[in-house]
Amino acid sequence: MKLLVSPMSIEEAKATINGGADIVDVKNPKEGSLGANFPWVIKSIVDLADGKKLVSAAIGDFDYKPGTASLAALGAATSGANYIKIGLLGIKTPEEAEEMLKNVVRSVKDFNEDVKLVAAAYADYERAGSLAPMDLPSVAQKCGVDVIMVDTAVKDGKTAFEFMDENQLIEFVSAGQERKMEVALAGNLGFGDLKTLKRIDPDIIGIRGAVCGGDRKAKIKEELVKQMKADLS
């Protein structure tokens, strides 16, 4: 499993890189689960990674706005990100998801076909009023998405495991991998979840709070990134 860690500043990005994370995921938690950071922050972290680490950039938790999302995705791609992550927070049907994703994928791939598009649904989709995670794999495959992801929409300390059990997450991972996509899991995951995550076996796990000492609003600590990476081995 690849370890994705989500810094929100250059200082945190240094701790993430020095700690050995596989993917540096640039976002801004102040703007939501997959809140977007500024283009110059993305570019600065891409420059800092210097090709030695993959860089992901979140572009937001979106309502049904295919044009706005496509422009945001292109902006992140031109800033140098290897992965572009979009959250389908305000998307309620597979039809809306398809219209969003096919256009976002086109905007990214027309610029650089090597950039990967990550589409995220939410384990707590019922309380968020958004697309069910199991509706995502088939739509994402149809649209040319490279990675599908489960996160949590509401950051209130509850984990993805409180909304989807191990078997449901295994089903989600299998559905993506069978369709030749990578699968990522996130949602307030911690050190205590690693044993279960190894059984579920996603391609990528996304972390922030756990490597901030338990508070996602605190700063990422290099030593905790190192510990997380070691515990995943």
Q: What is the pLDDT of residues 22-40, one digit of tens each?
A: 999 999 988 988 999 999 9
CA distance readout (Å), 118 to 18, 23, 110, 145, 148: 25, 13, 16, 6, 6
Lowest mean pLDDT among 70-84, 132-146, 201-215: 201-215
Query: Does the pLDDT value for residue 211 go beyond 90?
Result: yes
* The pLDDT of residue 155: 86
Give the global pTM.
Answer: 0.95
CA distance readout (Å), 30 to 150, 169, 184, 208: 19, 27, 22, 13
Q: Which domain holds residue 220?
A: 2-232
Give residue 201's identity as a one-letter amino acid code: D
* The pLDDT of residue 214: 80
Judge whether 27 counts as a catalytic residue: yes
* The pLDDT of residue 74: 98
CATH number of residue 6's parent domain: 3.20.20.70
Considering the candidates 43, 53, 85, 116, report the single residue annotated as catalytic: 85
Considering the candidates 14, 27, 43, 92, report the single residue annotated as catalytic: 27
Question: At a CB cut-off of 8 Å and minimum separation 6, what does 89 contact?
Answer: 32, 33, 61, 62, 63, 122, 128, 130, 153
Judge whether 155 counts as a catalytic residue: no
Mean of the pLDDT values across residues 50-72? Answer: 96
What is the number of domains present in the chain?
1
